[in-house]
Structure 1
Amino acid sequence: MKKLSSITSMALIVGTLALSAPSGYAALPQFFEDEPMPSLAPMLETTTPAVVSISVAGTQEVQQQIPDAFKFFFGQRRGQQPQERPFRGLGSGVIIDADKGYIVTNNHVVDEADEIQVNLKDGRQFEAKKIGSDAESDIALLQIKADDLTEIKIADSDNIRVGDFAVAIGSPFGLGQTVTSGIVSALGRSGLNIENFEDFIQTDAAINSGNSGGALVNLKGELIGINTAILGPNGGNVGIGFAIPSNMMRNLTNQIIEFGEVRRGVLGVTGNSINAELAKAMDLDTNQGGFISQVAPDSAADEAGIKAGDIIIAVNGKKVKTFNELRGKIGSIGAGKEVELTLLRDGRQKDVTAKLKPASDANIAAANLHPMLQGAQFSSADNNQGVKVTELEANSRAQAIGLRKGDTIIGVNRKKVDNLAQLRGALEGVKGVIALNVIRGNTELYLMIR
């Protein structure tokens, strides 16, 4: 009671000071019983039903090191033995289309999962199907069959500013839905080596393990980003979290919905970020942007008239500060799309339009098709004559099942496969043993995936 009495007395003193503040000084704020306290609750009541928790289960293949004393029995080349181990994981997701049941999350949340369960805020549970994913940008699209879903409104992430308030919604540590708040700390973060294509929103809203795939929203409850990663010791929050911008997410999921995969557009340039040292050496008029060191012949950049030595400073009217940021923005735009680029050449600003060309099919990671194909990269063979293995990592799963670089897959379970799209369709949803019909040189053989 003493504590309560002291607080009451202090409140009376503060109220007296507010009423009798001397002229020229700001009065302390007053709240009356009939006035509501400022709160995010009304916005969250309409927004949080669109954020779901995700639980996954599956098996992972790990390489078990054989002790030297036993190599006599297994042979010197069998120093590592593959072993399957079960795993379980937790994450978050966001409903972006209530009618079709589309849910966006991070690829790393559902990667290699055999079972994906979506838990809604109202307590309902549904098995989810993975429509497609993109490991290079860490985006995945799921689908559930359910009625009475709530979808989130998606904001234009190009309009957010550093200092805007931000709210993170997700399910950290499996505790259930949790809300944290902060501000947008930075934009266009890249070069973090978290993903291949990076253009992150940085926020100090607390993001922890399990928040991955959840929503970062503005004060209107509109989605501005998909929470993806944190920077901190031991995976704990230290006020530096990263989210994939909503525009980037929307570009990628639209491609997955249309094609079942991301068909990434390519500009066809290499370069570096502008810094003070490069600006001085090249006598440049800017310290920011993407410096173009080489333009590939017959590329989208070449056809648009971009030259080595140009500095790209904006994409579709939005400034870019680094080459990695330029790469991240271009990487989320689909093949065949037109992009407006602003560049500096000899101190003069110039606007050009480039029509992005398709990325090489060899950039498609085979793990996106089936977990046991991890370590391989595929491209459609010439004249629709199968799917060729263009790259193969040593000691990978794909090598373990018998694939070799240069192999051409022409069938799955006796079903003919002419290209990557058909291979994806043939592997989707298949359970049990899978027989790959492969051409190797002049030999036809079958490789089994169990």
Structure 2
Amino acid sequence: MQQRSSSHWLRYLLRSIALGLVVAAVVIWVQPYISAWQASRAAPDQPVSFAKAVNRAAPAVVNIYSLSEVRGSYYNRRPNTVLRLGSGIIMDNVGHVLTAAHVVANVSSIQVALQDGRQTSAQVIGSDPVTDLAVLRIELDNLPVIPQDQQLRSSVGDVVLAIGNPLNLGQTITQGIISATGGRMGVINSHADLLQMDAVINEGASGGALVNSEGYLVGINNAQFRGPAGQGVEGIYFAVPYALAYEIMTKLIEEGEVVRGYLGVNTGDRPQTQQQPGILVTGVDTNSPAERAGLRAEDYIIEIAGEPIASSQEGLALISNTAPGTELEVRFIRGNEELTTTVTISKLRY
């Protein structure tokens, strides 16, 4: 009887110890979550701030002042000197500055002002009228460089900050979201794959940085891009995406210009009678590679250099990236007949 009682108490004791250990383990496991919940309730709501992004990116955005001469009037034949405002972005520590081409086009001198108070002259390395981008070079040490991520791609809805010097008021920041990405046909020309956003871009802010909420460069702002009829629209602004701008910048630094292939066709929407993806030719430039190869209006291009073509953007990109002098086989439909011709790509003239 006594042995049975001792065994009962031993089991009770062991059960109590095991239960206590389980409870202790549970308390230890949930304690951090309880502490975090209590801290979040005790702390006041923090306002949303992009100060960290601005502090990372803004020092690398510079003010650009360029001087140009304009012909005088009938009554005053002396040329007038005009001050042009813009912004730029320091892209590396050797002094390459990316900006909008129209900011530094046909100017006699360029001055660059950094946010730390330093000023210096700048030299134009090269410019690209298609994307309206230009690269400058400045000779200064200890330069702030804009944060960059070559794998970064923007999405509709991303928060963006536009940094520049609008109207020479000093560096300012405007905030918005990306409204559309890519395929902005007719905005400036079909080569430029632009970002559309509602962050305000005024005169003087062209060439400035468009950064994300972490301060990484996502685009180069441009106040000159307009709608198809040349009109400006309130709340709709554009920037050249970083990936495209970086590609153009690299070519300008290495070669001094951007060489693009030229076919010489105007294109339109796919007709309803065509189920196969392709490009409808609506016109052919006189004495162009397309005309010399026998292409005509109403031809329907379905393949270039063995690559199926699904859209005008695809076809234009393929031609643009083809070196002048290259021969490409083009398959197309004319009426009910499928034909093939060979075109020799020439250099796009601006």
Shorter-chain TM-score: which interval? Answer: 0.5 to 0.7
The superposition leaves residues 337-396 of structure 1 with CA deviations (integer Å, 9 ceiling, x where unpaired) of x9xxxx9999xxxxxxxxx95615xx25xxxxxxxxxxxxxxxxxxxxxxxxxxxxxxxx
The superposition leaves residues 220-242 of structure 1 with CA deviations (integer Å, 9 ceiling, x where unpaired) of 3222211112559x998721101
Count, aligned residues: 286
Higher normalized strand content (fraction of residues): 1
Shift of 1:97: 1.3
Instruction: Decide whether the 8 Å contact of 2:196 with 2:238 is kept in 1.
Output: yes
Partner Cα separation in structure 2 for residue 246 and residue 195 of structure 1: 18
Instruction: Decide whether the 8 Å contact of 1:157 with 1:225 is kept in 2.
Output: no
Shift of 1:107: 1.0
CA change 1:297–1:270 in 2 (3 A) is closer
Instruction: Decide whether the 8 Å contact of 1:269 with 1:293 is kept in 2.
Output: no
Superposed, 1:267-306 pairs within 5 Å as 268=263, 270-274=265-269, 278-280=270-272, 282-284=273-275, 290-292=279-281
Shift of 1:61: 2.8
2:59 corresponding residue in structure 1: 49
- The one-letter amino acid of 1:148's match is N
Shift of 1:109: 0.5
The partner residue of 1:190 within 178, 181, 185 is: 185
The partner residue of 1:121 within 81, 100, 115 is: 115
Unpaired runs of at least 5, structure 1: 1-29, 67-80, 303-307, 347-355, 365-450
Instruction: Decide whether the 8 Å contact of 1:174 with 1:210 is kept in 2.
Output: yes
TM-score, normalised by the number of residues in structure 1: 0.54
Instruction: Decide whether the 8 Å contact of 1:172 with 1:209 is kept in 2.
Output: yes
- The one-letter amino acid of 1:42's match is K
Instruction: Decide whether the 8 Å contact of 2:264 with 2:288 is kept in 1.
Output: no
Asked if 1:39 corresponds to 2:49, the answer is yes
Instruction: Decide whether the 8 Å contact of 1:96 with 1:103 is kept in 2.
Output: yes
1:238 corresponding residue in structure 2: 234
TM-score, normalised by the number of residues in structure 2: 0.67
1:256 corresponding residue in structure 2: 252
Partner Cα separation in structure 2 for residue 61 and residue 88 of structure 1: 14
Partner Cα separation in structure 1 for residue 206 and residue 74 of structure 2: 32
Tell which structure's C-alpha radius of gyration is larger. 2
Instruction: Decide whether the 8 Å contact of 2:99 with 2:134 is kept in 1.
Output: yes
Secondary structure class of the residue paired with 1:109: helix
Instruction: Decide whether the 8 Å contact of 1:155 with 1:246 is kept in 2.
Output: no
Superposed, 1:317-332 pairs within 5 Å as 323=312, 325-326=313-314, 329=317
The partner residue of 2:347 within 349, 352, 359 is: 359
1:153 corresponding residue in structure 2: 147
CA change 1:250–1:273 in 2 (3 A) is farther
Partner Cα separation in structure 1 for residue 157 and residue 332 of structure 2: 29
Partner Cα separation in structure 2 for residue 213 and residue 335 of structure 1: 29
2:323 corresponding residue in structure 1: 335
Asked if 1:211 corresponds to 2:221, the answer is no
CA change 1:93–1:320 in 2 (3 A) is farther
Partner Cα separation in structure 2 for residue 331 and residue 175 of structure 1: 43
Percent identity reads 35
Partner Cα separation in structure 2 for residue 39 and residue 332 of structure 1: 42
Shift of 1:138: 1.1
CA change 1:84–1:160 in 2 (3 A) is same
Secondary structure class of the residue paired with 1:253: helix
Shift of 1:326: 4.8
Report the RMSD for the aligned CA atoms in angstroms. 4.1
Instruction: Decide whether the 8 Å contact of 1:92 with 1:213 is kept in 2.
Output: yes
- The one-letter amino acid of 2:240's match is I
Shift of 1:47: 1.0
2:243 corresponding residue in structure 1: 247
Secondary structure class of the residue paired with 1:159: coil
Superposed, 1:330-409 pairs within 5 Å as 333=321, 335=323, 359=347, 363=349
Q: Taking CA–CA contacts closer than 8 Å with sequence separation of 6 or more, which of the two structures ends up with the larger relative contact order?
A: 2
Superposed, 1:428-443 pairs within 5 Å as none
Partner Cα separation in structure 1 for residue 185 and residue 121 of structure 2: 34
The superposition leaves residues 105-149 of structure 1 with CA deviations (integer Å, 9 ceiling, x where unpaired) of 111111122111111111111111111112232111101011111
CA change 1:125–1:32 in 2 (3 A) is farther
Shift of 1:60: 2.1
1:162 corresponding residue in structure 2: 156
CA change 1:124–1:297 in 2 (3 A) is closer
Partner Cα separation in structure 2 for residue 50 and residue 320 of structure 1: 40
- The one-letter amino acid of 2:165's match is S
CA change 1:270–1:309 in 2 (3 A) is same
Shift of 1:190: 2.3
Shift of 1:199: 2.3
Instruction: Decide whether the 8 Å contact of 1:157 with 1:224 is kept in 2.
Output: no
- The one-letter amino acid of 1:255's match is K
Secondary structure class of the residue paired with 2:142: coil
2:101 corresponding residue in structure 1: 107
Shift of 1:332: 6.8
Shift of 1:102: 0.1
Partner Cα separation in structure 2 for residue 171 and residue 225 of structure 1: 16
CA change 1:31–1:114 in 2 (3 A) is farther
